[in-house]
Chains A and B, each alone.
With several copies, the nearest count.
Chain A
Amino acid sequence: MEFGLSQEQTMLQESLARFLGESGNLARSRRFAADKEARAQDVIDGMAELGVTGLIIPEDHGGVGLSLLDAALVSEVLGANVTPAPFIGSSVLAPLALMGAGDAGQQGLWLPKLASGAVVAGVALSEAVGARDGAGVEIRDGKLYGRSLFVVDFEADLYVIVDRSGELHLVAADSPGLTRTPLRTIDLTRPTGELRFDGVEAEPLNSGDTAVALRALIDAGRVMIAADTLGAAQAMLDQAVTYAKERKQFDRPIATFQAVKHMCAEMAADLEPCRALVWYAGHALDHLPAEASITACHAKAHLSEVGTQIAKTATEVHGGMGFTDLVGLHYWFKRIGFNRQILGGPQTVREDAARLKGLAA
């Protein structure tokens, strides 16, 4: 019985955080946004060197073979550092899709390339959670038609596509008939976009139980996003506390005002139990199949609510400075805002959990 992080896990987080610090952190994200970079290749390379791109890929495919909990811990660090690099799609969901529904050939071809960071994979999953504006992809005569919106890790070489019937497909980014349109959002650290399919050749991923594989993608995606929010919210809280200790008004640090202290205390009280929830949800993905989906929903929904509140409160603690671009706090604010809506807003996700529990139709 040991509910906590191992030394290896703590080291993984620390070494990744150290690398991200060296690579420039917020300054790197600002440059990524200002230069409209498609990929921060230096960051991806550094992550590959640390084994992060191949984190959950088995060792015999060039990966590190770690667990989804480890992936969540990575996601947390990336959120904390508003890192402008692919991870959830390319290093978690795409490998999961290949491992869960790909055949040996597909696995042997793609997993090593994903592990090394040589290939980035995007994942088109939004319509499986809820289709907006009539989006969705259909297969006719073995070819894909339709649209996928809000592709995770959009600036990719390869895509995992979920069609309307829940089947999974692999599509190369340069496939004829595929049109890619970036969708600019509030979050400038994680490009997303639309894929349009006009008779695109696709390779089916259908070697396992596709329904199980799809559910695993949704669950893992939600836990990774929850972890990203955990990291981002913790970073906002930390910045608020630091700022409050430094900032003086009325001849005293604002951290000595009970109102400011209590705002910080409320953030901490809301957030700290979320850490254990994310750990548990990450652990459940690999080890507690009966609980995994519901816990993933709870983690996603709850972190969205808590994160939204903290994003607002931490900004308020910063006063006007939090509203400006000067301290860049809004990068975290927007990261949390992005995470809230992706793969199902909190209400949608709670309703999903209620269905899983048999409480809703």
Chain B
Amino acid sequence: MDLSFSAEHESFRCEVLSFLESHRDQAPRPGGPSALMWQKLLIANGYAARSIPTEYGGYGASPDILKSRIIAEEFARAQVSPGLGGQGISMLVPTLLEVGSEEQKRSIIGPTLRGEMVWCQGYSEPGAGSDLANLRTKGELVGDHWVVNGQKIWTSTAHLADWCFCLVRTEPDAPKHQGISFLLFSMKTPGIEIRPLIDMTEGHSFNEVFFTDVQVPAGQIVGKRGDGWKVANAILRHERGSLADPNTMLSRLGALTEMMKTETVDGRRAIDDPLFRDRFMRIEAKVMAMRCNDLRLLSAAVNGHSPGLAGLVVKLQGTELRHELERLAIDVMGEMGLLYGDGTPYLRDRGSWQWNYMFFLGLIIGGGTSQIQKNIISERGLGMPREPKLATA
């Protein structure tokens, strides 16, 4: 057990701090430098796309999880934008690096990293949520084009994206998991209709996307025909952990403490209410546990160990915990916690507590419901048997 960093890493941290010090005025802000310029600067200095090979537009450093963590920590602490995110960078790029063709890597990764090519993910469908392999959007090879028809849902940023990476059933006669291909196409292709999917937060984070005879050049496929499920699963694993970052929870806890010191009922501060205080401390203990668990995962990753159960439980515990934390904030505010919508008088923290309370209920469901997570934990984590096959299936 050693929570200190090596001299190399400490000196790296100093580099990061000095970069932040001298460049923070170039970070994007409304009316100021653009996000794309900032991203270029970050890549050039190895603070974005750090371990992606230079020939594909990255910085080309050898992977070092601790350095990545140090960058993330210090940018967060300095409240400076860590550069572009999004599903193209976080999900498509690692996939292409693993299974893309050389041509795909060269033409796509660079522009994606630089934010010149914004991606959306076409996976879920109305009939294919928990049972994603049940997807029905079909692609038929007609001449040298895939002709895609069907519907996707939960397509975040579809309305902002240039391109889509999309799961499509191309082999209707193959078994469910073996009939899917992973296609790439421009969102400007004729036949694509995007409808905003308004959610309970009143926000527009997601879309429904409809495909009618969308023509995709035959070569715009990642992996082979029918390999789409395998390709997609490699990335899904990337997604699940990121929904419940304990450091974000710690900063929410900090904000909650401040709020509890200012909210009053009949002049009495919420922090002086033993019941609210106890609920707060209870949540803090859980957040502490998740933060320690996260250190353990980091350490396992550094040492190339399998995280096992400690990794499998993060999504379930983290999203529930975050929901609980935001719930407490609303209870602390009482009626004030009901206020919502820009410009509403008395609104606290721009409604972020309510927004997060609802959004995290969405995250409890999204990316594998809690029920699916429990199946995974019991089967992969505890070695319990899968449910027996049904008589009629």
Q: Do chains A and B touch in the complex (CB under 8 A)?
A: yes
Which A positions have Cβ atoms within 8 angstroms of B?
A: 1-6, 69, 126, 130-134, 149-150, 181, 183-187, 192, 194, 241, 244-245, 248-253, 255-262, 264-266, 268-270, 272-277, 279-280, 283, 287-288, 295, 297-299, 301-302, 305, 308, 312, 315-316, 319-320, 322-326, 329-330, 333-334, 337-338, 340-342, 345-348, 350-351, 353-354, 359-360
Closest to A250 in B: B131
When distances are taken between beta carbons in the complex, the residues of chain B under 8 Å from A359 are: 257, 271, 277, 280-281
- Judge whether A341 and B381 touch: CB under 8 Å: no
Stretch at the interface among B25-33, B163-171, B362-370: B362-370
- Judge whether A185 and B338 touch: CB under 8 Å: yes
- What is the predominant secondary structure among interface residues of chain B facing chain A? helix
When distances are taken between beta carbons in the complex, the residues of chain A under 8 Å from B330 are: 337, 341
- Judge whether B317 and A1 touch: CB under 8 Å: no
- Judge whether B289 and A287 touch: CB under 8 Å: no
Interface residues on B, range: 35 or more
Could you tell me the distance between the alpha carbons of A132 and B259 in the complex, rounded to whole angstroms?
13
- Judge whether A264 and B365 touch: CB under 8 Å: no
Could you tell me the distance between the alpha carbons of A48 and B268 in the complex, rounded to whole angstroms?
42
Of residues A192, A248, A249, A316, which shows the largest number of chain B Cβ atoms within 10 Å of its Cβ?
A249
Closest to B197 in A: A324
- Judge whether B335 and A126 touch: CB under 8 Å: yes
When distances are taken between beta carbons in the complex, the residues of chain B under 8 Å from A186 are: 338, 340, 354
A274 to chain B, nearest CB (A): 6
Instruction: Report if A3-B346 is in contact (Cβ < 8 Å); known contacts: A249-B131, A320-B124, A360-B277.
Output: no
- Judge whether A316 and B331 touch: CB under 8 Å: no
- 20 A-B residue pairs with Cβ-Cβ distance under 8 Å, sorted by A, are A1-B2, A1-B6, A2-B2, A3-B1, A4-B299, A134-B267, A185-B340, A245-B385, A250-B134, A255-B384, A264-B378, A264-B384, A265-B377, A265-B381, A275-B296, A276-B292, A279-B296, A308-B327, A320-B124, A359-B257
B10 to chain A, nearest CB (A): 10
Could you tell me the distance between the alpha carbons of A79 and B338 in the complex, rounded to whole angstroms?
17
- Judge whether A345 and B331 touch: CB under 8 Å: yes
Could you tell me the distance between the alpha carbons of A312 and B327 in the complex, rounded to whole angstroms?
11
When distances are taken between beta carbons in the complex, the residues of chain A under 8 Å from B366 are: 320, 323
Could you tell me the distance between the alpha carbons of A301 and B202 in the complex, rounded to whole angstroms?
28
Could you tell me the distance between the alpha carbons of A288 and B292 in the complex, rounded to whole angstroms?
14
Could you tell me the distance between the alpha carbons of A244 and B385 in the complex, rounded to whole angstroms?
10
Closest to B265 in A: A130
Closest to A339 in B: B338
- Judge whether A259 and B331 touch: CB under 8 Å: no
Could you tell me the distance between the alpha carbons of A155 and B334 in the complex, rounded to whole angstroms?
21
3 A-B pairs closest in CB distance: A276-B292, A330-B200, A261-B378
